[in-house]
Amino acid sequence: MHKIKISAVSYTNTLPFLKGIKSSPIIDEVDLSVDYPAECARRVIQDEVDMGIIPVAALLDLPNYNIITDYCIGSNGAVDSVFIFSNKPIEEIDSLRLDKQSRTSNGLARILLKHYWKREVEIVTEGEADAYVLIGDRTFGKKDTVKYVYDLGFFWKEFTGLPFAFAVWASNKELPKSFVESFNHALGQGVSHAEDVIPGLPPISNFDYKYYLTENLDFNLDQPKREAITKYLSLFQDL
């Protein structure tokens, strides 16, 4: 039997999806691998896999993408894992170092700097900078160690009034309807019990996994998040 090749993210925010997939009969129909967001996107774009959880900025590189589920990695305000960290106020920074693991969050930081904070800054990928983007599990417990912390989910909501979708399940080809329906159901089962993935996770000082998974994250790809994707991609293309 031909298996659907899937690339998923290895961060905590994707664990409910992975648990849903692995607990479902759909697991027998897929070849599942995990990586960081930018690599997931590359593998789908290069047709190394059939589908993946794709950072929304990467959709621009998939001319025939299909968003195939009702779920995403999203937030309706503060997400608590996508930040600009800085040792000076955002209004005073002149340079920003990007995070190599995520094109979407880098774009979000640049959009907010340009349109919300009205700052023109030097963008770098290496070396020293006044501030830097950091995403995912590497941010857990770090907020209290940096002087100035800017949650990009929160400030996107302040800027647009919309929630945000950081990544969506997308394919580079049309997939069988029966598979998509079963896969969607598996994801739904996983996110409806998101806190079940917490046992076994490493304890982190000043970080609440349950609040993160059930309050900060919003996994439903509803119409406002689809509107946010459209707005984000338009602003991203104008950077």
pLDDT given for residue 200 in this prediction = 85
**What confidence tier does 48 reach under pLDDT thresholds 50, 70, 90?**
very high
Query: What is residue 2's predicted lDDT score, i.e. its pLDDT?
Result: 87
Q: Please give the torsion angle defined by the CA atoms of residues 56, 60, 64 and 70, in that order, rounded to the nearest 10 degrees.
A: 10
The per-residue pLDDT for range 105-132, each reduced to its tens digit, is 999 999 999 999 999 999 999 999 999 9
pLDDT at residue 1, rounded to an integer = 60
- Percent of the residues in the chain that have a pLDDT greater than 70, as a whole number: 100
Mean pLDDT rounded to a whole number for the chain:
96
Residues 41, 100: contact at Cβ < 8 Å?
Answer: no
Categorize the per-residue pLDDT at 186 as very low, low, confident or very high, splitting at 50, 70 and 90: very high
Domains of the chain, with CATH numbers? Answer: 4-75+164-221 (3.40.190.10), 82-160 (3.40.190.10)
- Segment 2-26 mean pLDDT: 95
What's the mean pLDDT in 206-221? 97
Q: What is the mean pLDDT of residues 166-195?
A: 97
In the predicted structure, residue 213 carries a pLDDT above the cut 70: yes
Say how far residue 76 (Cα) sits from the centre of its chain.
13
Mean pLDDT over 14-40 rounds to 95
Q: In whole angstroms, what is the distance from residue 233 CA to residue 161 CA?
A: 16
pLDDT recorded at residue 174: 93
Give the tens place of pLDDT for each residue, 61-102.
Answer: 988 899 999 999 999 999 999 999 999 999 999 999 999 988
The phi, psi pair for 24, rounded to 5°, reads -110, 155
Q: State the pLDDT at residue 31.
A: 97
Exposed e or buried b for every residue in 116-143, given b needs 16+ CB within 10 A? ebebebeeeeeeebbbbbbbbeebbebe
Q: What pTM, to 2 d.p., does this model score?
A: 0.95
Amino acid at 74: G
